[in-house]
Structure 1
Amino acid sequence: MAPITYTRHEAGHIVARATVAVLARRDLTIKGAQGVTLGVIAAYVVGIAILWNIPYLRYVLWPFKMLVIAFHEFSHAITACCTGGRVESISLDPHEGGVTHMRGGIGAITLPAGYLGSSLIGMLLTFCGFNIVASKIASIVLGVCFLLTLWWGKKDWLTILTILLSVGLLVGCWFIAHAEPLRYVVLFIGVMSSLYSVWDICDDLVLRKVNSSDASQFAKRYGGSSQCWGVIWSIISVLFMAAGIVAGIAAFPETSAQQQKDSEDFVPTF
């Protein structure tokens, strides 16, 4: 049989039709397990927003705030390394702060990387939180990131404690009901990380008007106002989270029962 050949025009139409067919199969119809996940996300958002602003009760979020701050500082550090800089140390503050000491790097990238990087991590964790196996994979990647952060923060006791407790929580969830609780923990951390920049920027620049934030440093170097950059970064953070939710709906249409079965086959626990 003679080989079949296509003109470029014909091939383009074939590829286009195939792409449309794939997208049609990956619709955004909300199925049972996805509806539950969306409900959990909504509950997380409301719960975090309430706890964030109530005195004393806000301490419930303190461990997770420190974890997200670790993401924030890790994002500063990794972008510094990727842009030719050198990270000297990372430290976390018990009063919900953190600092990354680094030399060199490109400030236009490293300064916004704290908020945007933690928001990107939040987006990926929110995406993975739609599926148990994806949450297992995410927890492994998180473990690697934690080791890097631990290396840079090895002289800071709070950084060490935060990371060890976080790793312990993730590992513990692997051994409960074939890691089903793990996806809700990953989802919570994802939502917290996605929206942390929004609330933190609001606290720093709108309510408290702190002058030493990343946004204020960025404004001093590159122009504009800290409030303007803070709003822009907050909008990007919300868009990241929305993208993670949409991608999760499209990528993981499995039922809860199917997810449990898949989890039993992927690095099985009990």
Structure 2
Amino acid sequence: MFGFRPDPKSPPLDVSASEKPGSALLLAIAALATIVLWQIPLGKYLLYPFTILATWFHEMGHGLTAILLGGYFQQLVINPNGSGFARYGGEVLLGNLGQGLVAMGGPLGPAIAGSLFILSSRSHRATDLCLKALGMLILVSLLLWVRSLFGIVFMTLVAIAILLVAYCGNRWLKGIAIQFLGVQACISTFQQVDYLFTQAIPGGQLSDTGLLQRYLWLPYWLWGAIISLMTLGLLLWSLKVAYTRPR
């Protein structure tokens, strides 16, 4: 496990609060604008690449949580319209609690990872590591789980872009890239805000919060509120730490 400390052998990234005091605010505004635009049809087209990336983050959250709890991750499908699903199963640890954690892994897992990405921007070494790890994770997901042609093609391009930044970009570009990707991971939960507060989707399949209600008792709308608050809290906290804590 790595710590988010500056590398004493190299100068700090040019993304500190003292040098670029408006950067954190701009990232927060960009996050809010993205969430708002996602809720309207035109906005989804304008933000199309980020819509697809948000779907990947969400479905990977489900699948990887299932693996961590002893289940299996069978496949991930991303459709051209931005929808997708992850197929996972098996006997997970902790019974109903484990099933609930897998359901929560989709909307909340990416927010946890995204906050770590943002925090990593405080150190050049950690930024490099996170960019390379994310690019490689996307490639691994293509080999093991992604099973739609569109998803394979699109996410291959994303992985190549991230790895190019990781290996060829300067420190400023790497810092901005990891922060931007971290913000996108955090807000992927809000790609469809109404989904968080929906018990079941058309066809009768339970939503993530509907599954949480089944396994962990609290009503789906309360789970939607809890996940929303936790996601926003992680985003704002990580931005605050990245820009205000001494390096």
Contact 1:154 1:160 in 2 (8 A): yes
- Relative distance call for 1:38 and 1:172 in structure 2 (3 A) is same
Asked whether the equivalents of residues 136 and 159 of structure 2 are also in contact (C-alpha less than 8 Å), the reply is no
Please tell me whether the aligned partners of residues 165 and 173 of structure 2 are also in contact (alpha carbons under 8 angstroms): yes
Structure 2 counterpart SS, 1:167: helix
Q: Would you tell me which structure has more helix in proportion to its own residues? A: 1
AA aligned to 1:115 is P
Amino acid at match of 1:66: I
Report what 2:13 is aligned to.
none
* TM-score, normalised via structure 1 length: 0.72
Q: What is the TM-score when the length of structure 2 is the normalising length? A: 0.78
* Sequence identity (%): 20
Q: For the Cα contact (< 8 Å) 1:116–1:237, is it kept in 2?
A: yes
Q: Whole-Å Cα distance in 1 between the matches of residues 177 and 236 of structure 2?
A: 19
Deviations 1:105-155 (A, max 9, x none): 231221101111011111112223455553322111102321332133343
Total equivalences in the alignment: 223
Q: CA deviation at 1:177?
A: 5.8
Could you tell me whether the CA contact under 8 Å between 1:139 and 1:186 is conserved in 2? Answer: yes
State whether residues 131 and 252 of structure 1, in contact with CA within 8 Å, keep that contact through their aligned partners in structure 2. no
Structure 1 residue 66 displacement after superposition = 1.4
Gap runs ≥5 in structure 2 = 1-15, 93-97
Task: Verify the 8 A CA contact 1:64 1:189 in the aligned structure 2.
Answer: no
Instruction: Quote how far apart the aligned CAs of 1:205 are.
Output: 4.5
Q: Structure 1 107/209 Cα, relative in aligned 2: closer, same or farther at 3 Å?
A: closer
CA contact (8 A) 1:41 1:191 kept: yes
| Residues in 2 aligned to 1:36 and 1:87: alpha-carbon distance in whole angstroms | 41
Task: Structure 1: give runs of 5+ residues left out of the alignment.
Answer: 1-29, 254-270
**Deviation per residue, 1:63-115 (Å, 9 max, x gap):** 11211221221121111111111111111122222211112223122110111
Following TM superposition, the consecutive aligned residue runs of length 4 or more in structure 1 with deviations greater than 6 angstroms are none
Secondary structure of the corresponding residue to residue 84 of structure 2: strand
- Counting only pairs closer than 5 Å after superposition, residues 41-56 of structure 1 correspond to structure 2 as 41-56=27-42
Matches within 5 A, 1:22-33: 31-33=17-19
1:96–1:136 Cα change, 3 Å? same
CA RMSD of aligned residues (A): 2.7
Residue 122 (structure 1) aligned with residue 114 (structure 2): yes
Q: Are 2:194 and 1:203 equivalent residues in the alignment? A: yes
Map residues 120-159 of structure 1 onto 2, 5 A cutoff. Answer: 120-129=112-121, 132-159=124-151
CA positional deviation for 1:183: 2.4
Distance change (3 Å), C-alpha of 1:182 and 1:208 = farther
Please, which of 228, 243, 246 is the counterpart of residue 249 of structure 1? 243
